[in-house]
Structure 1
Amino acid sequence: MIHSLIQILVFQVLFLAVYEFFLKKETFFNLNRIYLLLTPILGTALPFISVDFIQKSIPKEYMVQLPAVVVGDTISEAIPNATSFWLPSLLDLWLLGIALSAVIFFWKIFRITKIYLSGNTAYFDGLKLKILPKTDTAFSFFNTIYLGENISEEKRSSIVAHEKIHIQQKHTLDLLFFEILRIIFWFNPLIYVFQNRMATLHEFIADEKLTAENDKKQYYQNLLSEVFQTEKISFINTFFNQSLIKKRISMLQKSKSRKAAQLKYLLLLPAICAMLIYTACSNEPKTEATQTVQQSDSEVMNKINELAEAIMKKGEMTPEEEKALKLLTTEAQPGDKVYTSVQEYLNETEGEGDMSVAFSEIERVPTYPGCSGDNETLKKCFTERISAFVGENFNTKLGKDLGLPGRQRIVVQFKIDKSGNIVDVKAKAPKPELEAEALRIIEKLPQMQPGEQKGEKVGVLYSLPIVFEVQ
């Protein structure tokens, strides 16, 4: 996830760099408008796009994986009722940011509505105007132009003509598009930069169309004569913005860009290709993994169908076959032993004299010292006491010392025999050191009161999963 966010930021920076160094000073305003609308979406989508032929053509030695960031290590037991502290995840923080950004957006809408209701409605040249009392404000939002009543009559016509172009070009939709992106990707500062560039481009478009029909010299004088107040709302088109006047005049003085300069937009193609290649190098091929999972699921279903047909043909099953089928169809529960094969299960449970029963099926579970009550209470107490015992005695620094990345799982299996002793302890872990540590802890467990099945003391099989997570 972090890797994808870094890729999004890098790709959007590259798209902005292309705009800043090659396209911003060109007078292809409509093409630049399309570029600024398209590239934030491309930068967000490209990290999640994988092209099969690119991945297959890249040698494996060029595949890279972003290393995990280690911020600490914890040990937790995957046992019911274990106590844990809630920590906000990345998803929680993202949703909280979206909620706050949405509140800010609707506050801006409220301000616009308040301004709209405070003005007097008028019409000029077929356009709806809102005359605002005691202000020099001038801006447009959707199909309405907002004018302060302090603006002189001779200035109003040029302002209305300018804002009319914003309305015709539907510039408000562009800015609202970036407002939506700002809500979803509130943590991404580049979205704000894209929106700022788009607002500037809108002014260039309006200036160009207006000066095509009017005298440029007079238009320059209008720009320099007054600087009107503006509402600080990010999705309205303001008439005069002091920080933009110099840029607008400079752009008006530029000669029309030659058509050959449009070839600069082809820079987008190699940039996208480079990003796709980088994405292919930095991620494991997804197509093959998906095919493997689908193929595996298909094989399992075929085996199930074959088994069903065999049972129906035979009609009756032997006790051993019924026992094996029960193992396959019984949902695993905490404390169940993990068998590597059906035959292992049959071999271990055959013979009544030395029968071992799974912890989840025993009529009366083994009793941990200090526990009392009915079977369910004893079972709960047993798991809680073992969880606490492991948590207190396990070497929590071992995961970090071994340099293990991410989550590591240890499965410990043992038997509580007829005398209540812990025997046949086995551990399976990615590192021998983890296995040794798990065995050391389990062998220190106190003697239990043995479990009972049908009134007789029996051995009880117990499985204890331990999860290491190096964060």
Structure 2
Amino acid sequence: MTDFLIKSTASLFVLLAVYHLALEREKMHHFNRFYLLFAVVFSFTIPFITIEVIQEITNPVTSQNAIKMEAETIAIVEDSTNYWLMTIWSIYGLITSILLIRFIRNILKLSSRAKSNTKINYKNSKLVLLEEKTLPYTFLNNIFINETDYHSRKIEAELYTHELIHVTQRHTLDILFIETVKTLFWFNPIFIFYKKAIQLNHEFLADEKVVKSHNNVPFYQNLLISKANANPTYYLASNLNYSVTKKRLIMMTKTTSTATALLKKGILIPVLTALVFSLCTKVVAQETNKKQQTTSKKSESLFKNYYDKTTFKIKDENGKTVANKKYKDLTPKEKNIVPALLFDKNKPLTTKEIDKVLEKGGPETFIVDLYDKKNIKVKKEDSDAIYNTAGITEKPEYPGGIENFYKFIALNYKAPTEANLKGKIYITFIVEVDGSLNDFKILRDIGYGTGEEAVRVLKLCPKWTPGKVNGEAVRTMYSVPITIQSKI
């Protein structure tokens, strides 16, 4: 929603500025009418347009087989109830409802006036005769005038022509459109200026027709000035005395050449193009690693072939060689104690040095001794002993994996209501031999009951697959981080 408001307002502001600077003072009122309406529709549409621009970037490719990284998985728990947002929407709904009621009531009031008073057919419109003293004004195809002035013929022909243009060109529809938008987006003042621009352009159109039809500019100008201080009428109607300013009086005698009109209309092409590309463009990074990818594939291929010429001597519990195998024939347990690469651990290797090690390949023979003390995870004699994850053969696991565990946390955790509360909780617990969780300890929390709530959720957790040493379940210490992010 914020993105929509920012982009639409930016577009509305730029297009309105272009109108006032380049178009308003030129005598091309039909085009300007279309432009103002188009500007509103275009600005509401532009936030939904996305143009993806692919930008190629070059990143080095690292072989996953050469380097292994272990990343910490965390659950982000967001506050599910945003009271500030609810309050803002409630205020918006209340004010919008009041303005909509006012808007609809004025439409009904004008319609009721048209129905309850005498009507006379006049060309393509209806003259509605009112008892109250008023200047002529138009709503839809109705021209409201004073009954006494009509019968005594005090209404000048220029005024009839003026109001008839509002009817035939359906100016009321423009007013209803911009007023609806202004009602829904009452918090954005720019629509006030759009409505003023649209109404003034309507008067330019009507004035232009009067000048062409009656060909008496000084008389019409004096007539407008004499009527300028008359009583105001409804804001939904097209009014004769709307903004009788220097602009209208000057516009009656102004001319605009075809070349000037085309030039100023042409300005819109770069303006609209600039708006689209500045507000709708999304840069999408696409990695190109031609040289690096070639090197990576070469390294990967060398890694797969690293132990091709190596013979693995498998020893039994007595230290005797019982089998000779190739790497592909090793069991998962045997592969587990075979290092990815054999190189000098006392000094770091460069990429070129690693490539040389890969190209040279592994040794001719390699001893695999599953019963060597350094390769055996030994279960402690104490049945109640607690293991850490580094000292066991198989780590404990939540049903479905760690990602499902954090989904369970996120779904069941009730975040505190404090605004902008952010931080990380660390909790340890014991995974028992039957998979249940016990002995919860909060190592760090961020207050407001965040740690206690995490313990409550963990107690609801289904049983895990316990940790094991050589296939036998053991009690295992496990720790998890939980990130809290409460947004307002």
Query: What TM-score, normalized by structure 1, do the two folds share?
Result: 0.58
Query: Aligned letter for 1:192?
Result: I
Report the equivalent of 1:469.
486
User: How far, CA to CA, are the matches of 1:161 and 1:135 in structure 2?
Assistant: 20
Query: Aligned letter for 2:186?
Result: W
Q: Is the 8 A contact 1:166 1:237 kept in 2?
A: yes
Query: Aligned letter for 1:2?
Result: T
Aligned-pair CA distance for 1:421: 9.0
Query: Aligned letter for 1:226?
Result: K
Equivalent positions of 1:35-46 (< 5 A) are 35-46=35-46
Q: What is the DSSP-based 3-state SS (H/G/I as helix, E as strand, rest coil) of the residue aligned with 2:155?
A: helix
Query: Are residues 443 and 203 of structure 1, via their aligned partners in 2, closer, same or farther at CA, if it must alter by over 3 Å?
Result: closer
In the alignment of these two chains, the number of paired residues is: 338
Report the equivalent of 1:239.
240
Report the equivalent of 1:268.
268
Query: Aligned letter for 2:131?
Result: P
User: How far, CA to CA, are the matches of 2:135 and 2:286 in structure 1?
Assistant: 56
Report the equivalent of 1:212.
212
**Quick check: 1:414 aligned with 2:413?**
no
User: How far, CA to CA, are the matches of 2:81 and 2:423 in structure 1?
Assistant: 20
**Quick check: 1:200 aligned with 2:200?**
yes
Query: Aligned letter for 2:104?
Result: F
**Quick check: 1:119 aligned with 2:117?**
yes
Aligned-pair CA distance for 1:133: 0.3
Equivalent positions of 1:49-68 (< 5 A) are 49-52=49-52, 55-56=53-54
Equivalent positions of 1:407-446 (< 5 A) are 414-415=429-430, 422-423=438-439, 441=451
Equivalent positions of 1:243-322 (< 5 A) are 243-280=243-280, 285=284
Q: Is the 8 A contact 1:8 1:43 kept in 2?
A: yes
Report the equivalent of 1:100.
98
Q: Is the 8 A contact 1:132 1:148 kept in 2?
A: yes
Aligned-pair CA distance for 1:206: 1.0
Report the equivalent of 1:8.
8
User: How far, CA to CA, are the matches of 2:44 and 2:171 in structure 1?
Assistant: 23
Query: Aligned letter for 2:111?
Result: T
Q: What is the DSSP-based 3-state SS (H/G/I as helix, E as strand, rest coil) of the residue aligned with 1:212?
A: helix
Aligned-pair CA distance for 1:230: 5.0
Q: Is the 8 A contact 1:136 1:147 kept in 2?
A: yes
Query: Are residues 463 and 9 of structure 1, via their aligned partners in 2, closer, same or farther at CA, if it must alter by over 3 Å?
Result: same
**Quick check: 1:185 aligned with 2:176?**
no
Report the equivalent of 2:292.
none
Larger Rg belongs to: 2
User: How far, CA to CA, are the matches of 2:135 and 2:213 in structure 1?
Assistant: 25
User: How far, CA to CA, are the matches of 2:17 and 2:453 in structure 1?
Assistant: 63
Query: Aligned letter for 1:149?
Result: E
Report the equivalent of 2:139.
141
Superposed CA offset, 1:5-56 (max 9, x none): 222222211111111111100001111111111011222222331212xx22
Report the equivalent of 1:128.
126
Q: What is the DSSP-based 3-state SS (H/G/I as helix, E as strand, rest coil) of the residue aligned with 1:253?
A: coil
By percentage of residues, which structure has more helix? Answer: 1
Report the equivalent of 1:222.
223
Q: Is the 8 A contact 1:131 1:146 kept in 2?
A: yes
Query: Aligned letter for 2:106?
Result: K
User: How far, CA to CA, are the matches of 1:133 and 1:272 in structure 2?
Assistant: 50
Superposed CA offset, 1:314-355 (max 9, x none): xxxxxxxxxxxxxxxxxxxxxxxxxxxxxx9x96489xxxxx
Query: Aligned letter for 1:469?
Result: S
Aligned-pair CA distance for 1:220: 2.3
Query: Are residues 459 and 11 of structure 1, via their aligned partners in 2, closer, same or farther at CA, if it must alter by over 3 Å?
Result: same
Aligned-pair CA distance for 1:414: 3.3
User: How far, CA to CA, are the matches of 1:229 and 1:287 in structure 2?
Assistant: 66
Q: Is the 8 A contact 2:117 2:130 kept in 1?
A: yes
Query: Aligned letter for 2:235?
Result: S
Report the equivalent of 1:317.
none
Query: Aligned letter for 1:220?
Result: Q
Gaps of 5+ in 1: 61-75, 289-343, 351-357, 359-382, 401-406, 428-433
Query: Aligned letter for 2:268?
Result: L
Q: Is the 8 A contact 1:127 1:143 kept in 2?
A: yes
Superposed CA offset, 1:55-83 (max 9, x none): 225989xxxxxxxxxxxxxxx9779xx99
By percentage of residues, which structure has more strand? Answer: 2
Q: What is the DSSP-based 3-state SS (H/G/I as helix, E as strand, rest coil) of the residue aligned with 1:153?
A: coil
Equivalent positions of 1:443-454 (< 5 A) are none
Q: What is the DSSP-based 3-state SS (H/G/I as helix, E as strand, rest coil) of the residue aligned with 2:7?
A: helix
Q: Is the 8 A contact 2:440 2:455 kept in 1?
A: no
Report the equivalent of 1:310.
none
Q: Is the 8 A contact 2:46 2:280 kept in 1?
A: no
- Indicate the percent of aligned positions where both proteins have the same amino acid: 23
Query: Aligned letter for 1:139?
Result: Y
Aligned-pair CA distance for 1:212: 0.8
Equivalent positions of 1:330-369 (< 5 A) are 348=396
Aligned-pair CA distance for 1:260: 3.1
User: How far, CA to CA, are the matches of 1:450 and 1:270 in structure 2?
Assistant: 61
Q: What is the DSSP-based 3-state SS (H/G/I as helix, E as strand, rest coil) of the residue aligned with 2:102?
A: helix
Superposed CA offset, 1:409-440 (max 9, x none): 7685734769x99447699xxxxxx7799999
User: How far, CA to CA, are the matches of 2:13 and 2:170 in structure 1?
Assistant: 27
Report the equivalent of 2:25.
25
User: How far, CA to CA, are the matches of 1:441 and 1:107 in structure 2?
Assistant: 55
Query: What TM-score, normalized by structure 2, do the two folds share?
Result: 0.56
User: How far, CA to CA, are the matches of 2:208 and 2:256 in structure 1?
Assistant: 10
Query: Aligned letter for 1:218?
Result: F
Q: Is the 8 A contact 2:423 2:446 kept in 1?
A: no
Aligned-pair CA distance for 1:87: 5.0
Q: Is the 8 A contact 2:224 2:244 kept in 1?
A: no
Q: What is the DSSP-based 3-state SS (H/G/I as helix, E as strand, rest coil) of the residue aligned with 1:155?
A: coil
